[in-house]
Amino acid sequence: MKNSRIIASLDLVDPKEILDLAEKISGEIFAIKINWPTIMSCGVEIIDHLSNYSKVICDLKIADIPYTNEKIANIASGHGAWGIISHIFPGEDSLKAVVKGAMGTKVFGVVSMSNPDSEHLLNGNWQTMMRIGKTNGIYGIVAPANNQDLLIKIKKEAGNLKIISPGSIFQGGDPLLTLENGADYVIIGRGIYESKDPVEFINNFNELCKRNNLLGE
Mean pLDDT in order along the chain per 10 residues (217 residues) = 92 97 96 98 98 98 98 98 98 98 98 90 93 97 95 96 93 93 96 96 96 87
- Confidence (pTM): 0.96
- The Cα 175–Cα 165 span in angstroms is 9
Active site amino acids: 61
What confidence score (pLDDT) does residue 119 get?
85
What confidence score (pLDDT) does residue 127 get?
96
Q: Which fold has domain 6-211?
A: TIM Barrel (3.20.20)
Q: Give one DSSP letter per residue of 115-138, joined into a string.
A: STTHHHHTGGGHHHHHHHHHHTT-
Which residues are registered as beta bridge partners of 106?
A: 83
